[in-house]
Amino acid sequence: MNWIDVSNFLKRKPKNLNSDFKAVFKTPEGKRVLSYLAEYCSSNRTCWREDVRAHAYFEGQRAVWLQISLILNLTPEEIAELNNQKEN
């Protein structure tokens, strides 16, 4: 998928998707999943790897996290809180 395809994909996004994301991740279960994704997708650390393929893989994970956090309008403080939850 190239950048033009990504742009077209985002234009076709279902109308209520943002509110759906917010409804799902507002629940206690959704918050636990979001906390897991924050850790798994490198929300608070670099995903750089020396191996180009590994780097591309981790950049893909991070791109998913960035899209989710953008849709949810997460602040840096909220992201930090999610990362603290995983430690408890």
pLDDT of residue 69: 93
Phi-psi region of 47 (alpha: psi -120 to 50; beta: other; left: phi over 0): alpha
List the one residue out of 48, 21, 45 whose CA is nearest residue 34: 21
Distance between CA 82 and CA 39 in Å, rounded?
8
Examine the pLDDT at 87 and tell me if it is beyond 60. Answer: no
pLDDT tens per residue across span 8-57: 766 777 788 899 999 999 999 999 999 999 999 988 888 889 999 999 99
User: Which are the contacts of 39, defined by CB distance < 8 A and separation ≥ 6?
Assistant: 83, 86
Examine the pLDDT at 68 and tell me if it is beyond 90. Answer: yes
What is the pTM assigned to this prediction? 0.76
pLDDT of residue 74: 94
pLDDT of residue 77: 93
Distance between CA 60 and CA 68 in Å, rounded?
13
Residues across the chain = 88
